[in-house]
Amino acid sequence: MAEAQGPGPRLPDPTAMQAAWQDIAERSQRLLKEFAEKQAKEGATPPGDVLNLTGTFLDFTTKLLADPQKVVAAQMELWQQYMRLWQATADRLAGKPAEPVIDAPKDKRFADPAWRDEAIFDHIKQAYLLTSRWLTGLTKDVEGLSDRERKKVDFHIRQFVDAMAPTNFVATNPQVLRATLESGGENLVKGLRNVLEDLERGKGRLAIRQTDMNAFQVGRNVATAPGKVVFQNEMMQLIQYSPTTAEVYERPLLIVPPWINKFYILDLKPENSFIRWAVGQGYTVFVISWVNPDEKLAGKSFEDYMLEGPLAALDAIEKAIGTRHVTAIGYCIGGTLMAATLAWMAAKHDDRIAACTFFTAQVDFTEAGELTVFIDEDQIRNIEALIKERGYMDGAEMATTFNMLRANDLIWSFVVNNYLLGKDPFPFDLLYWNSDATRLPAAMHSFYLRNMYQKNLLVQPGGITLAGEPIDLRKVTIPCYIQAGKEDHIAPLKSVYKMTQVMAGPVRFMLAGSGHIAGVINPPRAKKYNHWLNETPKNPPTFEEWMAGATEHKGSWWHDWDKWLSALSGPKVPARDPAKGGVPPIEDAPGSYVKLRIID
């Protein structure tokens, strides 16, 4: 009796496939027409090489070829590795055991068993890993490259290597091949539809969806902490959150988030909301919700963010609750702004901020990490030319820059999932927030890139003048709590630590596990990500020295911060209802400014 055969590959429904291709053709035609009309209307095209990669790689290639003996030796080494791989593959195909020439067991891209169990896919994987290791190692022995040039070349070689991974192509991804056979190619048709949907959403630019954009709504299931908008100007809304305790500390807490992203990373959902947790500890919490600027605010400067941000908020808080002195938090670029604001206030003998916390914030940019690969004179000039006419840095372009720092996780994994496998992205509140891009005013963005990242003037006494005052961070004498993330790729921990050597007052430095987001948003109930503290009275000159004397503590650092801040927040007073304060509420939290989205 013949053995029953399992089901073979499913054939596509011709009627459904025809309807799908007709829909794809119509949408493609419409997109092409809209793109052509947009180009005709705008007339000029943006610079073709904004990052100045042509000049950088031409210089790198010239210096690489200046020593042909090294090039030949590197090629011979790669060729020998290929020969070993060919032999190992031949042994496997012949049924003989063979150890891998190279492996990456923790690389999530190659988690499918076929990359290990099937000789052909194992060969493809190892060939890719050998080639990528060879390419990424090319710059190490090239003489004449500056550190900045070497980092720039390294970064963009890695972008190329990540893009060329076999997982990103139908023919060399076993998971995609199986899905194609099992669905009769419907995954690729659905993937093409997803491509067109993302092009339509991005108005001609590929706006890759990282999550289900319809699963979340600001004010409905993210950013839901109750409160009132008690003040607003053209740069921000100030939110006062409703108390959940009968008594609160006398000094309120002002949070200054980054304007590169939206504030509700601190209030994604109730169980991990830093804002709700801080309110629950007895703090009267105020948060700045920055506007999403357009061309009307093109001339707004870093100085304007100070004057119309934290300084305006201090005035509004005093009117709202009658208290002059506050404590503050600055997150990322919001922390950079707060450091500059504290120095300005010190110059003006303004003592309204009694203590300040810094989340992953930098003031000394000499070790600012991979973002520096985007900062040289040619690139800044190109960026300024690109944003001059429209008046702002597009939020989607900024988001792409940050995504490139973790391209495999934040770009290519979604290319495979959405376009090759034809799946919809999973609903994830953090990635919804990550996709909620914000614009940056042209004047502010240019000032920040040049004076902080390029010239590092903020840390130099009198290097920057704001509102008529040359500022000096060394005049900041209030107590400071500085948090850094152990795996932060945006504000590297060594860069953040440098602030401990600048501020003149007592500084408590704390190293949190994880990175730029999870290192901050780590509620105690989650029992994740440990933290490190060093109780030495004076922070040593280098992070390495600090770490050598540090002690690891289990779980979240939030309780340590609360213990520090509560001692600086004054006595307890009756809780303050934002609906019954000294100013009439404008609207309910989270306000209207945060709801303006660039891409829906």
Where do the H-state alpha helices sit in 418-508?
429-434, 442-448, 493-497
Q: Which amino acid is at 494?
A: K
pTM attached to this predicted model:
0.88
Q: In Å, what is the CA distance from 399 to each residue of 139, 369, 385?
A: 28, 17, 19
Residue type, 337: L
Choose among 231, 222, 220, 275: nearest CA to 253.
275
According to the model, what pLDDT value does residue 143 have?
A: 81
Please report which helix (H) or strand (E) contains residue 143, including its range: none
State whether residue 250 is helix, strand or coil. coil
End-to-end CA distance of the chain: 59
Residue with tokens 């930098």: 362
Query: Which ranges in 43-67 belong to alpha helices (H)?
Result: 53-65
What residues does CATH 3.40.50.1820 cover in the chain? 227-374+437-595
Q: Is 586 exposed, middle or buried (0-12, 13-18, 19+ CB in 10 A)?
A: middle
Contact between 540 and 497 under an 8 Å Cβ cutoff? The reply is: no
pLDDT in tens, the chain (600 residues): 344 444 555 555 556 555 654 565 565 556 556 655 655 555 544 445 555 666 677 777 777 777 778 778 888 888 999 999 999 999 999 999 899 999 988 999 999 999 999 999 999 999 999 999 998 888 887 888 888 788 888 888 899 999 999 999 999 999 999 999 998 889 998 998 999 888 888 877 888 999 998 999 999 999 999 999 999 999 999 999 999 999 999 999 999 999 999 999 999 999 999 999 999 999 999 999 999 999 999 999 999 999 999 999 999 999 999 999 999 999 999 999 999 999 999 999 999 999 999 999 999 999 988 888 877 787 888 888 888 888 998 888 888 888 888 899 999 999 999 999 999 999 999 999 999 989 999 999 999 999 999 999 999 999 999 999 999 999 999 999 999 999 999 999 999 999 999 999 999 999 999 999 999 999 999 899 999 999 998 999 999 999 999 999 999 999 999 999 999 999 999 999 999 999 999 999 999 999 998 776
Query: What is the reported pLDDT for 501?
Result: 97
97 Cβ contact partners less than 8 Å away, ≥ 6 residues apart: 91
SS3 of 329-378: the string is EEECHHHHHHHHHHHHHHHCCCCCEEEEEEECCCCCCCCCHHHHHHCCHH
Query: 227-374+437-595 is classed in which CATH architecture?
Result: 3-Layer(aba) Sandwich (3.40)
Task: Enumerate the active-site residues.
Answer: 332
Q: How far is CA 217 from CA 75, 185, 288, 432, 599, in A?
A: 53, 34, 19, 9, 13
Helices (H), 174-267: 174-183, 186-201
Instruction: Compute the distance between CA of residue 398 and CA of residue 409 in angstroms, rounded to an integer.
Output: 17
Closest residue by Cα to residue 544 from 494, 487, 482, 489: 494
What pLDDT score was predicted for residue 5?
A: 47
Q: How many CB atoms lie within 10 A of CB 260?
A: 21
**Closest listed residue to residue 342, CA positions, set 278, 256, 229:** 256
Burial of 23: CB neighbours in 10 Å, binned 0-12, 13-18, 19+: middle
- Beta-sheet pairing, 480-485 with 507-512: parallel
Residue with tokens 């099992």: 182
User: 414 φ, ψ to 5°?
Assistant: -80, -30
**Before 590, cis peptide (omega within 30)?**
yes
On the CB side of 497, CA atoms within 13 Å amount to: 22
pLDDT for res 2: 42
Residue type for 467, please?
Answer: A
DSSP for 263-300 reads: GGGGGSSGGG-HHHHHHHTT--EEEEEE----GGGTT-
Look at the chain and count its residues: 600
CB 63 within 8 A of CB 142: yes
Q: Token digits for 311? A: 């300084």
Measured CA to CA, the distance from residue 466 to residue 244 in angstroms comes to 38
∠ CA 474-331-232, nearest 5°, is: 105
Tokens representing residue 21 in the block: 């291709």
Angle 411-413-416 (CA atoms, 0-180°, nearest 5)? Answer: 110
